[in-house]
Amino acid sequence: MRILLLALAATAAIAGPVRAQQADVDVLRYRFYLTLPDTGKLVRAAATTIFHRDSANESISLDLLAPMAVRAVYLGCSAARATPFTHDGRVVRVPLGEGGDSADSTCVTVQYEGEPADGLVISTDSAGRWRAFGDNWPNRARHWLPTVDHPSDKAYVEFIVDAPAALTVVANGTRRGVAPIEPSEGGERRRTAWATVEPIPTYLMVIAAAPLTETPLGETACGYAALQRCVTQSVFTAPEQAGFMPGNFTRAGDIVQFFARTVGPYPYEQLLHLQSSTRFGGMENAGAIFYADRLFRRQDGVSVGLIAHESAHQWFGNAVTEREWGHLWLSEGFATYFAALYTRHAFGDSAFRAEMAGIRQTILRAPAVAERPVLDTAQTDLMGLLNANSYQKGGFVLHMLRTEVGDSAFFRAIRAYYQAHVHKTALTDDLREAMERETGRDLTWFFDQWLRRPGFPELTLKWEHDRATGSLAVVVTQGERFAPFRIPLRVEVVDVSGRQTHLVIDVPEQRTARITVPGRWVEPPFAIRPDPLVEMLGEFRTP
């Protein structure tokens, strides 16, 4: 997902209280009609929510924060009628009564207006040009869109946007039409329509309306798209940056093709990359990734690693969405690790191991890792979930899981997990069950140890050699800060001649263990080096 801009993260506030999906309401589609101003921040809008309803359900509640003000609400799809409502500045509540076009579904249309305090970020760029970008994560859609603002309720989305003709309007899905409309006092205007053909969570539902120039990347990853033969990609930037494009986006096609081959076909209609005002380094909005404006104004531009991270989210986080916020690692950990796997594909094993070593060092230094588990269902500060647990440790857990079960079983399970939950939601146990089906093993211990407990192993390794018997043992002591871990640890034994032998020793879940190394060792080793291939999360000390 997003590579967080830390200065903003420190001050970012949660967008109102977190609430779970309404158990008796299932949103099918949102249709948003937005009229954007020529200047200023006043947005006028109408939002139609089409949803299944439980027969006993008496109302629907949609998140919408002040200062957005509701002017009217209409109930019904084909024969809508004005209906009573309440809006307390946080939630629009609409009694349903007997409304609806069928026994179990209906439409509610909310007419509203205001200057969004967040979510739709309206500003001017460095050249003084007006622009607006959606920036919804985690639950900031409610600042400008009346929705069930929770990742558990995915829906199709349509945007119909009236905006000044000088602006390019981009949204999720594909563009369905552009037409001139009646000019305003500010000048010519156009109506642009976009729509998706797959459901997405509200935190990914965005628009961009800005003076953007398109640099086509062409048809990429041909034969690897779920909805058509190829994945059309483009980069949208401010006009003055267009001359520097495509830059690192030349790798965008290879990135998508690699993930599609590894996981499954690309899940959306196209993939667009936009220079934007997002508060994050990158935000993986479905089919339309927003990158921070400042990255396009540097010589090295948007990095290959960031493009790979945000592209990986199209599969993990977007197509398969974490059902509850505490399972965010299913999005961020996956994007972190699969971006590293792309590094291996593109730049080789040495670059991959160097990246994993850097990820490990970040984990070892992060206070959140020592204090909280990766699977953090107790965390109510959603911005607080953007930490080394969700990203780096989550990614390294996948790396260790791959080592534990082997490449073939790991990737079979990843593909099975993805196919079972594509365009749906998932929890951590869904991944565990997929891994267990493919391996025929009980992996509860692995998931509990690495995801439900804070910390990491802190190991001190010593060796003992008996020349008379030729026996060699490794004594492993685990630190006191965390409970002991169960670890299959690869060690490299270097003899006096410099020859290297790799062995895997099973470190038990206890403070101190003496583990005999197989074989006969005539001479004592010159050195024993833990984890030479960067496969294990831990801090290792040797005399």
pLDDT tens digits along 473-531: 999 999 999 999 999 999 999 988 888 999 999 999 999 999 999 888 888 988 999 99
User: Are 428 and 375 contacting, i.e. CB atoms less than 8 angstroms apart?
Assistant: yes
pLDDT tens, 325-341? 999 999 999 999 999 99
For residue 126, the model assigns a pLDDT of 86
Residues 122 and 10 reside in one and the same domain = yes
Residues 394 and 512 reside in one and the same domain = no
Residues 139 and 51 reside in one and the same domain = yes
- Candidate from 146-150, 216-220, 466-470 with smallest mean pLDDT: 466-470
Residues 115 and 146 reside in one and the same domain = yes
pLDDT tens, 268-298? 999 999 999 999 999 999 999 999 999 998 8
Residues 303 and 332 reside in one and the same domain = no
For residue 187, the model assigns a pLDDT of 85
Taking residues 129-156, report their average pLDDT: 97
Residues 103 and 11 reside in one and the same domain = yes
Q: How confident is the model at residue 8 (pLDDT cuts 50, 70, 90)?
A: very low
Q: Considering only residues 59 and 328, tell me which one the structure prediction assigns the higher pLDDT.
A: 328
The amino acid present at 117, given as its one-letter code, is A
Q: Of 295, 318, 341, which closes a domain?
A: 318
Taking residues 212-227, report their average pLDDT: 97
Residues 299 and 433 reside in one and the same domain = no
The pLDDT of residue 12 is above 50: no
Q: Residue 493 belongs to a domain with what CATH number? A: 2.60.40.1840
Residues 201 and 53 reside in one and the same domain = yes
For residue 543, the model assigns a pLDDT of 77
Q: Of 280, 303, 318, which closes a domain?
A: 318
Q: Which residues of 227-240 are buried (b: 16+ CB within 10 A; e: fewer)?
A: eeebbbbbbbbbee
Residues 373 and 503 reside in one and the same domain = no
For residue 14, the model assigns a pLDDT of 41
Q: How many C-beta neighbours within 10 Å does residue 470 have?
A: 12
Strands 130-134 and 207-210: antiparallel
Q: Residue 78 belongs to a domain with what CATH number? A: 2.60.40.1730
Choose among 212, 125, 121: nearest CA to 164. 212
The pLDDT of residue 40 is above 80: yes
- The whole domain housing 332 covers 323-451
Taking residues 102-116, report their average pLDDT: 88
For residue 101, the model assigns a pLDDT of 56
For residue 20, the model assigns a pLDDT of 45
The pLDDT of residue 6 is above 50: no
Q: Residue 299 belongs to a domain with what CATH number? A: 3.30.2010.30
Residue 294's contacts (CB-CB under 8 Å, 6 or more residues apart) are none
Residues 59 and 133 reside in one and the same domain = yes
For residue 182, the model assigns a pLDDT of 81
Chain mean pLDDT for the chain: 93
Q: Of 318, 347, 365, which closes a domain?
A: 318
Residues 367 and 396 reside in one and the same domain = yes
What is the count of structural domains for the chain? 4
Residues 308 and 384 reside in one and the same domain = no
